């Protein structure tokens, strides 16, 4: 449906431009694309200059991905015919595949080596690390997630947090940094209070590689040529939260997220240096816009390069203000799962020289730890019945509603700005008003849960 909507919107411009390639591209869109599956990415270019009209036209086209807009221009990914179409319009661009010839791929670990490293964590620290696969990629590789927590085999009631990296396979920095972060926290467990408190009081999930096929292929898309960060259900399009027909990597994330109570997360990318917060798909501000800016600043402030960015004020940006995208993971995770997610762009170079990775780790390490602690800036309820489902309406101190959220598995947790709130809890036909107080994040042993 979206493809048709966008296509009819695009067709308005055709008569004046009389552009054959427009029609070819449009034909491709009609033939192949839907909200679920775009035409495979085959051409990748960097369009030079601001080009606001072109940008407007490309954003939202089901077969086109626009990414990394900056003062020099923006990236465009699309099906065969994209560059000819741009040629016809006299647009200046360069081919990103040519630019990639300069990349030094050497010394990066392979999928098998990453797997071995994750297995080593799990076997070395069996009390606090568990390695699970949440599904398989197009090529049959496992999608590994580390759970890190005390009593790791038990599903405890603790705030749940996750880091996911490299859903774009060629944006590799985050894969390396998340593995280094885990390594450091595990080594320091029991001696360093910051790592120990986090592990003891949080259920931490780390997925270093959401698109291992793409990383092995040195490409953005998965092995089906699909951009995974355009493949999630999109509220703006009225998509149902339905995994059927989506990419296997997307399906795996959707099923996993539905099985957890994750309330804070970040998703690591590369190609810029900025912390990007929802919404991506609409200009309207998020109901927790102030909180999102605060948590993004917590990340950016501890990263000297991000904080002093010349492209982004204070190193943060609203997603749609940067550029609009549909089907992204961060909007989806909050809309359907009450999981506040930001997108962190870690390095201007998507695939830096391996020798530079320690430097990127140094500049992101404090931010990564601090951001995890924010998982404790909230409040929750826990019910004796671990199977209980229900809803919680969150009211601020003045009694105004801040939204209503479903919960399951007897547990609800919400990240909130410091202050006093009322949770109107409805479960099994019973209603209760619970007063909660949220303080500046500090990792607390009880996770700020109230037992009902
Ligand atoms: Zn990306």
Give the tens place of pLDDT for each residue, 355-380. 999 999 999 999 999 999 999 999 99
Pairing status of strand 316-318 against strand 274-277? parallel
Confidence at 35, pLDDT banded by 50, 70, 90: low
CA 95 to chain centre: 26
Query: Given a cut of 90, is residue 109 above it in pLDDT?
Result: yes
pLDDT at 217 over 50: yes
Average pLDDT score over the chain: 91
Q: Tell me the pLDDT band of 43, cut-offs 50, 70 and 90.
A: very high
Strands, E assignment, 103-180: 129-136, 142-148, 160-165
Catalytic residue among 345, 373, 393, 439: 345
Question: CB within 8 A of 353, min separation 6: which ones?
Answer: 104
Q: How confident is the model at residue 25 (pLDDT cuts 50, 70, 90)?
A: low
Under 8 Å between Cβ of 306 and 204: no
Distance 122 CA to ligand 1 centre (A): 28
Which pTM was predicted? 0.91
In the reported structure, the alpha carbon of residue 217 is separated from the centroid of ligand 1 by a whole-number distance in angstroms of 15
Contact predicate 271/69, CB 8 Å: no
Q: How far is the CA of 89 from the centre of ligand 1 (A)?
A: 27
Q: For residue 115, how far is its CA from the centre of ligand 1 (angstroms)?
A: 22
**Secondary structure of residue 267 in the 3-state scheme:** strand
The order of strands in the sheet holding 142-148 is 129-136, 142-148, 203-207, 160-165, 262-269, 340-345, 274-277, 316-318
| Structure confidence at residue 31 (pLDDT) | 40
pLDDT at 114 over 80: yes
Rg (CA), the chain: 22
User: Is 345 tagged catalytic?
Assistant: yes
Surrounding ion ligand 1 within 5 Å at CB are 168, 171, 269
Strands 160-165 and 142-148: unpaired
Between the CA of 347 and the centroid of ligand 1 the distance, in Å, is 11
Type and span of the H or E element at 292: helix 289-301
pLDDT, mean of residues 127-132: 98
Q: Which pLDDT value is given to residue 448?
A: 87
Task: Using the mean position of ligand 1's atoms as its centre, give its distance from the Cα of residue 175 in Å.
Answer: 12
What is the Å distance from ligand 1's center to 269 Cα?
Answer: 4
Q: Output the CA 346–ligand 1 centroid distance in Å.
A: 10
| Ligand 1 midpoint to CA 328 (Å) | 10
Predicted pLDDT at 6: 33
């Amino acid at each position: 449906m979206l493809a048709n909507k966008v296509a009819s919107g695009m067709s308005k411009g055709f008569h004046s431009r009389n552009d054959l390639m427009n029609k070819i591209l449009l034909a491709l869109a009609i033939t192949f694309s839907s909200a679920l599956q775009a035409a495979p990415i085959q051409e990748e270019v960097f369009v030079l200059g601001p080009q606001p009209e072109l940008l407007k036209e490309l954003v939202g086209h089901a077969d086109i991905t626009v990414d990394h807009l900056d003062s020099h221009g923006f990236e465009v990914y699309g099906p065969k015919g994209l560059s000819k179409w741009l040629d016809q319009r006299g647009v200046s661009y360069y081919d990103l595949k040519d630019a990639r010839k300069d990349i030094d791929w050497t010394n990066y670990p392979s999928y098998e080596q990453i797997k071995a490293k994750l297995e080593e964590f799990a076997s070395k620290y069996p009390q606090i690390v568990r390695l699970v696969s949440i599904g398989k990629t197009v090529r049959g590789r496992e999608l590994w997630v580390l759970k890190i927590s005390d009593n790791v085999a038990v599903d405890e009631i603790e705030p749940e947090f996750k880091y996911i990296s490299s859903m774009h396979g060629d944006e590799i920095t985050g894969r390396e940094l998340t593995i280094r972060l885990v390594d450091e926290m595990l080594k320091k467990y029991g001696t360093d209070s910051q790592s120990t408190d986090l592990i003891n009081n949080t259920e931490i999930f780390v997925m270093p590689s959401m698109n291992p096929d793409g990383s092995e292929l040195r490409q953005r898309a998965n092995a089906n040529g699909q951009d995974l960060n355009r493949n999630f259900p999109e509220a703006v399009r009225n998509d149902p939260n339905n995994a059927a027909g989506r990419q296997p990597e997307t399906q795996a994330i959707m099923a996993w997220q539905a099985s957890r109570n994750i309330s804070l997360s970040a998703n690591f990318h590369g190609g810029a240096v900025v912390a990007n917060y929802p919404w991506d798909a609409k200009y309207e501000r998020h109901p927790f816009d102030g909180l999102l800016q605060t948590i993004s600043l917590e990340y950016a402030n501890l990263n000297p390069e991000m904080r002093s960015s010349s492209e982004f004020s204070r190193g943060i940006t609203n997603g749609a203000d940067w550029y609009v995208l549909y089907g992204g993971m961060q909007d989806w995770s909050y809309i359907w799962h009450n999981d506040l997610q930001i997108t962190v762009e870690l390095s201007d170079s998507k695939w830096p020289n391996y020798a530079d990775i320690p430097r990127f780790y140094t500049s992101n390490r404090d931010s990564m730890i601090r951001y995890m602690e924010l998982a404790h800036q909230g409040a929750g309820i826990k019910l004796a019945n671990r199977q209980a489902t229900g809803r919680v309406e969150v009211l601020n101190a003045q009694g105004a509603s801040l939204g209503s959220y479903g919960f399951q598995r007897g547990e609800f947790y919400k990240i909130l700005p410091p202050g006093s709130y009322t949770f109107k809890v409805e479960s099994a036909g019973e209603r209760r008003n619970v007063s909660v107080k949220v303080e500046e994040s500090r990792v607390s042993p009880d996770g700020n849960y109230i037992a009902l």
